[in-house]
Structure 1
Amino acid sequence: MVHPHPGRPVTPPSQAVDQPPHALGRGVVRRALHAFGSVRFLMRASGLTFIAVVNAMIAYGVWQHHREAVGAAERATRNLALVLDEQAGRTVSGVDLLLTDLLTLLDVHPDGRSRGSAAIHELLRARRAALAPLAGLVVVDETGVTLHHSADTNPPDVAVGDRSYFAVHRDGAAPADAMAPQGLFVGPPIASRAFPGTSVIPMSRRWTRPDGRFGGVVVAMLNPAQLGTSLEAMGGGGDGTATLALRDGSVLLRRPADKPADKPDSSPARLDGWAEIQPLLSAGREGTLHTALPGDGRPGIVSLRRGRTHPFVVITAVAQADALAEWRRDSAVWTLMALGMTAVIALLTIHVERQQARRDQDQVRLARASRRIRGILDSMVDAVVTIDAHGRIETFNPAAERMFGHAEAEVLGKSVNLLLPEPMHADHDRSMAGYRPDAGSRIIGSDREVLAVRRDGSTFPITLAVSAVRLEGRLEDEAGSRGEEGGQCVFVGVIRDITKRKQQEAELLASKSQAEMANRAKSEFLANMSHELRTPLNAIIGFSEILDSEFFGKLNDRQKACAKDIHDSGKHLLDIVNAVLDMSKIEAGRYELTEEVVDPAEALAQCLMMVRDRAQDARVDLRNGITDGPAGELPAVWLDRRAFKQVVLNLLSNAVKFTPDGGRVTLSARVEEDGSLAVSVADTGIGIAPEFMEHLFQPFRQADNTVSRTFEGTGLGLSISKNLMELHGGSLSCASTPGIGTTMTARFPAERIVKPGETEALVVAALS
């Protein structure tokens, strides 16, 4: 017989009938499903998935770290440029104000144009000492001859007509990119003739004669190193560079320096790569750029910033290789960690796979092991209920019968859910099904408060303590066959009715809620009252201002006086409403501080200006005690500017109000030995009686009834000030002698003093 398909094996007829093709396919599918559904396969798949996830997370972390490294470099160059620009701007503004003030003094001083005047020399020396970056002040007449110099009473007989800072004012042809607002000229660094071996940055202003002719110049010589103090405080710029230059490319300051500072060039240095930078600035391309480093050509991160109030350009840069050096080291470490974790996870997966078979066998034995709990004492005062592993009630003592209203015979063999409210059934069933004796349980060994149900359907609160008892021995399973050696787990519940205790707790909560509602109603009333009063008060103040401006017609003196009284009374009442609202916010804990770095000397000077008119009207001498020492002695502070000024204004206003005609009020500030900042307001007023000192900072309180009738006020100022100081972690104290005067002192803790170099970190933390 010829085989129909040569080379193909012949299947016996009986085998072909017993194993049809579709049956063979179903067998393969069943075996594949069994393999895929096995615990062994799932563990292997989980291990591989975990390895993939871990490596993906590490890869993402490396990528994210790269982004953070680049972002950190961008922020560093940007912040460094901002700090250098702000410092240069403040220095230029300070010099401009100083020169303007000096020109005014020279015009009125009889020795202003007398060469070598000792009085003018002392004036120049004092002005130079008041501004740290200044190296010297020079006054030059219209011929270029030096009239006065801060370094010497007898100025050197040197003609400076060839100097650019003199020629631009004399000729009136100053380049626009070298002039600051209001006519201040800023020149490139020059070698100092007064101090050989050093270089200075000249800043000059024109000295105009009364008839408008050119009368000379006043010149401030700046020390270039002083412009970079913020860079040294911030670590010198790290691996990058920072340059401050004029808009013509002349370098004023470079960190790190290319040459020793004690060897100035005869001509100003030019900025590296100025040909590439100038077109960017001309096109308005300021900010942080990824471009080639100026004068270097390597890829880098460059921040450009052009001063708005001064003719400076700030360039900060860092090479990308330097910025990413730490990232490269970290990436290598993370790669090694990924390899190590891959190996560890693979070994753990193999170990867990081997242990799973043993764990399954143990769980089967634990599921079969059960025993009944015996020996429950029916004489217990508390209700005791025992249930088996399936949640069926096995014992029900008399105390439980009295508590729940069920007879023991009625509940035996039934589910314990009979004693629980319907919403708790599912949670209880899950707890029973998921309980494992060796795994622990949140309901075993703990005293819980839950709700229970009586026979009549009413619910009541109980405390439930559950313990598990393991009874050793051999048991028969539900089918009647003998079980394996093991034990049955029985749960014993001890129950206590806490209805009376809950009623007492409810009464306490109700009392507390009523008190909170009363306090909230008070706060809402104060807020609504303040809002409702502000609207008509603003209208009254506005109409009184319209009347005083005579918009609707001329007013006689009596009518104008009445309009002024209406305006002043409205403003006074609005201040009272605002004070009450501030006190309400503080009491409610909703007053939020807006903290920033504040120059206390500047803020205190503003407060003095705001109170000066009031002091003049009251004929009180208002003195600034801060000017006794250098302004630089007061460090910057981290606080809420508005709250700080509100405290100082309250203290100054009180001092002026309670000081009689001819009295004196002095504002001073100092740094204490413990590092705290103390701001004091001392007056020569009426003082405070000793018996009132303990009530001084209470709201709506003043010294006594006589004072209350003599002096207007709500008595909220000191209370608000004390609360604002406590929000800052500080304190407000008072020292007073009746008839002699009072000294109020506000102290800010040393933690709020801003150390050099901390300004940037504080600002970044506040913004984040």
Structure 2
Amino acid sequence: MVARVPTHSTMDVQQPVSRLRRLFRSVRFLMVASGVIFVLAVNGLIAYSLLLQRNAALGRVEMDVEKLALMLEDRAAHTLFGVDRLFTDIAHQLNRLPAAVNTAPGAINETLRMLRAGFPQIANILVLGPDGQLLNHSGREEAASVAFADRSYFTLHRDRTDIGLYIGQPIVNQFSPDAPVVPLSRRWGRRDGTFNGVIVILIDLQVLGMRLAEHSVGTRGTVTLAAADGMILLSTPPNRIRSLVDWPEVQSDLRAGVLRNTVTLTDPIDGDRRVTAFRRLSEAPLVVVASASLTEALAGWWRTAMLHGALALAATLAIMLMTWHMTEQHTRHEQDRDRLDRLSRRVRGILDSMVDAVVTIDVHGRIETFNPAAESLFGYRREEAIGQSVRLLIPSAVRHDHGGWSPAPQAAGDPRAGGTDREVMAQRRDGSFFPMTLAVSELRLGSHGAEEEERVFVGVIRDITRRKQHEAELLASRSQAEMANRAKSEFLSNMSHELRTPLNAIIGFSEILDSEFFGKLNERQKSCARDIHDSGQHLLAIVNAVLDMAKIESGRYELNEERIDPNQIIDQCLMALRDRAEENGLVLTVASPRPVPPMWVDRRAFRQVINNLLSNAVKFTPSGGRITVSVRIEEDGGLAIAVSDTGIGIPEDFMAHLFQPFRQADTSISRRYDGTGLGLSISKNLMELHGGSLGCESTVGVGTTMTMRLPAVRIIRKDIMAA
């Protein structure tokens, strides 16, 4: 009999089915499903109730807007009907009078005033003759000779007989300039039908607007009276929209011949959604529009919806929390136990893998944990150390006072109090002592019922024997270096003084020989004397530089400050180097935009720095180059003197060593340029002694700019003001 092995496809189907069966049979799934169904049912009922309330609110606002539009239509029709009858009465009164009377200016003024008195919204009544001249009006003043032949309400009636009641654009009444009016006009014909003129009634928009303002739906509702072409005649609030074109939904219905409708549109001014009802008067080309803000209309519904939503959310959260609590309660103990096991293994692994020794003791000073690093450090096995007093690790000489092994004071409310590293002595199993750093922290584990709060102390220990040895070696090396530096400085100072005496004699006797004081010399002898003098001067300059460097390094260099003229010092330095520069084919220039004020500095040091910068520029600039000395007062009030050349430049990798003594960019045996490498180092130190600085900007093959800066306190201010 052969056993049948299930195929992979059968197993793939059975596994999800079995999982679903286990899921549906589990209490956890049933509880979660019941909670979800209950939440959906509650939220569905609330949502349905809110939908009904919203529809009811929308229905109410639409009804209110339509009622208002109908009322406005009735009032506008009633007003237009009265005005239209007034046109008939005026025409009848005019036609009853002889032609000579009704065309005489001011002849029927009293009659027009009486007719106007019954309509407070009428601003004026005008009677225009066949030539467009004003014949009569209802004002108290006499009719002026005013021509209205170019007005649209005159030309339309003159040229066409099919124009009934015409409504013009709002204008400013010239008889009462402060009141905007809308002209309503009709053709005035004789009894035989011929054109006799135009009767114009001016409607006061302010009076009409006061009546419209009494009616609106809500505080953000609008009421608008417009002509059939979309022109706004009156709007409350005023200037709400410019034309019905701003409401394309209304304009499109009017163009399609729809006389009344209710639409929902977006206000172009504030972006609010509005329920808008419009009605076009059948007797006249007028449209009344009433609108209400959906935001305002649904404000109460939104408050109810937010309240119901909050209740639904609270109910949902409560049901979900209860469901979660009930489904998670039966697995919490197992998860806690697994978590504690993992945490214990993790802590044990961390302690065992730490390089530093970790020792834990209780409040009685007994060792509770002892990691492998502590075993290697102290020489005790873990079994030997646990349970023993911590005095086992403390040298016997200081066991009576082991405060260094105590933790730092604990912060209020902090279950852990960490101590900073401190250096103490410890003792190994073999009795040897060694220095170590110790950081002790107090760990509070909390209380259990009525028991006292459990506390342990964790000490992290590190052997610092090698560090102490290294520190001792560093201190010895530092002491030796300081002694060597002092010896060097004293040696250079003594040697410089010893060399100066014979050098002064060599220079003096060479000058005597060159002056032929002891007798006449031939040219060869005089040339030798000058070479001796130049070499002595060069050697004396080197000795002075070494002596200055020694004084600066030892802190014995003293500034002899006085008032100097920087221009004079710069000119003297340039004069001393001008011959050498001309021999090398160089051009020396000075760029100083204004006189430089006097300064309070050491004259010799100031001259030495400028000489060093100019000498380097001449030395490292090939023939045909240019050297420029520029002087300027900086924004902070300090003085900056820059020496720029078009020389060989300084390599970028040497810039970090530029101001170090005895360093030169070209250190090869066959280097082209002489010098000791002390000039820039001494110059930088001299500038820093004055509170200033010395900086460098250089590009290889382009040139170098050395800038010496002195602070503003070195400048004598009254001379600047005088300049």
TM-score, normalization: structure 1?
Answer: 0.35
TM-score, normalization: structure 2?
Answer: 0.37
Larger radius of gyration between Structure 1 and Structure 2? 2
